[in-house]
């Protein structure tokens, strides 16, 4: 959510940002907010004047009664009552106007960073750098579900019976590999100085609207019927929510946290074969990174976060590339975002395995996460998040890149301690 002062002082900057995100349908909201804000401030001024007048009149009543001027005192009392009635109407108007302003401010997109490439959708995202040499083996690489089934590691049919499409049973060494990757990711991030956290897996509605846009919420979140609770789509939601309505001392920053959680997503829409299996699913697990920091430090942390993911995948000898998200592909709260994509030998192309985002002060402003500086000044923190690893999707890249011609799957050395010392499965 933007600072209202930006719309008051530089509305054209907000309009230009909306155009860069190809959301011209939101342009009228800028003028609507400005008009509502003007009316709101006028109502505030009138209410303040009425409060002062009521206070002055109330003080007069005692003096009039003391002097025996009962009729005049009654007249003043009636004037105080009328002022109170008028004030109540003004306060109701203030709340209505505030609600109208907030409703629009929640959907006007955040100001994107100047370095973000301009484009309509993800087809115009820009490749930044590649890490590792993509290899296509001489033998045929099967579809990831086929690899898992040959290793007796997945049962989609049983999951459809119990839960429907988009769910799975992982079994045996594949299930163990799934857990091994998460355990390794946990230790990898702890070794990089992050504090390990297991957060709540359900959050209140005010946290949901604080950490994401309404469009994301509608397409992603599962609501618990009859409760003000939502299943998290990623641990970022509850991790950022941890700081709601807090004032952090500047010397406490940055907060660098890494969290494990299951994730639950609606994943609305039909998908092709490459998004079946365990690519696009309703339930998965993830190791996440969260940073809460001073505004001037967020660009540095953005670069450190995505580099962590690249380094993690390279320790598993999986080739990856980074992709800068264009303006039209950015969610409304994001200032800047970069995807990490892993190499698929079977498809002979890269696919997304993680996303790193700088949200500026958007989440902090919505959730009232403030920092108290050494001079006593309070300001909004910046928040960032990034995926370290999200199996079972990551298993696709792992299995394809570590598959051998004989159908066995090599286990890199860094994972063997989590796999009981095994150097392969098959």
Residue 270 has pLDDT above 70, yes or no: no
Do 12 and 88 have their domain in common?
yes
Domain boundary among 55, 70, 105: 105
Whole-prediction pTM = 0.89
- What band does 263 get if pLDDT is binned at 50, 70 and 90? very high
Do 207 and 245 have their domain in common?
yes
Do 132 and 84 have their domain in common?
no
Residue 422 has pLDDT above 70, yes or no: yes
Residue 415 lies in a domain: yes
Do 283 and 328 have their domain in common?
yes
Residue 111 lies in a domain: no
SS (H, E, C) the chain: CCCHHHHHHCHHHHHHHHHHCCCHHHHHHHHHHHHHHHHHHHHHHHHHHHHHHHHHHHHHHHHHHHCCCHHHHHHHHHHHHHHHHHHHHHHHHHHHHHHHHHHHHCCCCCCCCCCCCCCCCHHHCEEEEEECCCCCCCCCCCCHHHHHHHCCCEEHHHHHHHCCCCCCEECHHHHHHHHHHHHHHHHHHHHCCCEEECCCCEECHHHHHHHCCHHHHHHHCEECCCCCCEECCCHHHHHHHCCCCEEEEHHHCCEEEEEEEEEECCCCCCCCHHHCCCCCCCEEEEEEEEEEECHHHHHHHHHHHHHHHHHHHHHCCCCEEEEECCHHHCCCCCCEEEEEEEEECCCCEEEEEEEEEECCCHHHHHHCEEEECCCCCEEECEEEEEEEECCCHHHHHHHHHHECCCCCEECCHHHHCCCCCCCEEC
The percent of residues above 70 in pLDDT, for the chain, comes to 98
The better pLDDT of the pair 332, 79 is held by 332
- What band does 408 get if pLDDT is binned at 50, 70 and 90? very high
Do 30 and 166 have their domain in common?
no
Residue 257 lies in a domain: yes
The better pLDDT of the pair 75, 111 is held by 111
What integer is the mean pLDDT of 323-328? Answer: 97
Residue 105 has pLDDT above 70, yes or no: yes
The better pLDDT of the pair 85, 341 is held by 341
CATH number, domain of 33, equals: 1.10.287.40
Residue 317, domain extent: 122-425
Q: Which of 218-227, 266-275, 319-328, 373-382 has the lowest mean pLDDT?
A: 266-275
Residue 370 has pLDDT above 50, yes or no: yes
Residue 100 has pLDDT above 70, yes or no: yes
Domain boundary among 75, 105, 135: 105
Do 383 and 329 have their domain in common?
yes
Residue 378 lies in a domain: yes
Residue 114 lies in a domain: no
Read off the pLDDT of residues 18-69 as tens digits, 9 standing for 90 and up: 999 999 999 999 999 999 999 999 999 998 888 888 788 777 877 777 778 7
Read off the pLDDT of residues 190-219 as tens digits, 9 standing for 90 and up: 999 999 999 999 999 999 999 987 777 777
Domain boundary among 45, 72, 105: 105
Residue 113 lies in a domain: no
Q: For residue 128, what pLDDT is reported?
A: 97
Read off the pLDDT of residues 118-148 as tens digits, 9 standing for 90 and up: 999 999 999 999 999 999 999 999 999 999 9
Residue 273 has pLDDT above 70, yes or no: no
Do 101 and 199 have their domain in common?
no
Do 302 and 264 have their domain in common?
yes
Do 313 and 357 have their domain in common?
yes
Do 202 and 57 have their domain in common?
no
Residue 54 lies in a domain: yes
CATH number, domain of 418, equals: 3.30.930.10
* Mean residue pLDDT across the chain: 92
Residue 268 has pLDDT above 70, yes or no: no
Do 303 and 239 have their domain in common?
yes
Structural domains counted in the chain? 2
Q: For residue 140, what pLDDT is reported?
A: 94
Do 154 and 277 have their domain in common?
yes
Q: For residue 269, what pLDDT is reported?
A: 52
Residue 110 lies in a domain: no
């Amino acid at each position: 959510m933007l600072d209202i002062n930006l719309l008051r002082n530089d509305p054209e900057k907000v309009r230009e940002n909306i155009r860069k995100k190809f959301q011209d349908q939101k342009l009228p909201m800028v003028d609507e907010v400005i008009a509502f804000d003007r009316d709101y401030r006028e109502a505030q001024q009138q209410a303040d004047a009425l409060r002062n007048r009521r206070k002055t009149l109330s003080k007069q009543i005692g003096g009039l009664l003391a002097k025996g001027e009962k009729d005049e005192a009654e007249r003043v009392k009636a004037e105080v009552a009328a002022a109170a009635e008028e004030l109540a109407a003004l306060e109701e108007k203030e709340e209505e106007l505030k609600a109208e302003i907030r409703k629009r401010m929640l959907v006007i997109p955040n100001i994107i960073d100047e370095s973000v490439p301009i484009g309509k959708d993800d087809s115009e995202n820009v490749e930044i750098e590649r890490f590792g040499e993509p290899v296509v083996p001489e033998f045929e690489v099967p579809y990831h579900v086929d690899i898992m089934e040959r290793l007796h590691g997945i049962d989609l049919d049983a999951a459809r019976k119990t839960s429907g499409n988009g769910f799975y049973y992982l079994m045996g060494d594949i299930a163990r590999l799934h857990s091994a990757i998460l355990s390794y990711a946990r230790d990898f991030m702890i070794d990089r100085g992050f504090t390990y956290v297991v957060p709540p897996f359900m959050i209140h509605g005010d946290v949901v609207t604080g950490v994401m846009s309404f469009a994301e919420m509608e397409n992603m979140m599962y609501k618990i019927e009859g409760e003000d609770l939502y299943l998290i789509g990623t641990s970022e939601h509850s991790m950022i929510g941890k700081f709601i309505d807090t004032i952090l001392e500047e010397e406490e920053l940055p907060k660098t946290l890494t969290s494990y959680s299951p994730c639950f997503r609606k994943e609305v829409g039909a998908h092709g074969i490459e998004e079946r299996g365990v690519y696009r699913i309703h339930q998965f697990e993830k190791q996440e990174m969260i940073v809460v920091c001073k505004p001037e430090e967020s660009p540095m942390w953005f670069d450190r976060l995505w580099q962590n993911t690249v380094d993690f995948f390279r320790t598993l000898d999986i080739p990856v590339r980074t992709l800068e998200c264009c303006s039209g592909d950015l969610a409304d709260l994001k200032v800047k975002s970069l995807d990490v994509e892993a190499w698929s030998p079977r498809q002979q192309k890269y696919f997304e395995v993680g996303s790193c985002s700088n949200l500026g002060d958007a989440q902090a402003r919505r959730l009232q996460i403030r920092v108290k500086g050494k001079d006593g000044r309070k300001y909004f923190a910046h928040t960032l998040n990034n995926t370290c690893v999200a199996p079972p999707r990551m298993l696709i890249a792992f299995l394809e890149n570590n598959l051998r011609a004989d159908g066995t799957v090599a286990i890199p050395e860094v994972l063997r301690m989590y796999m009981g010392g095994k150097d392969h499965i098959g």
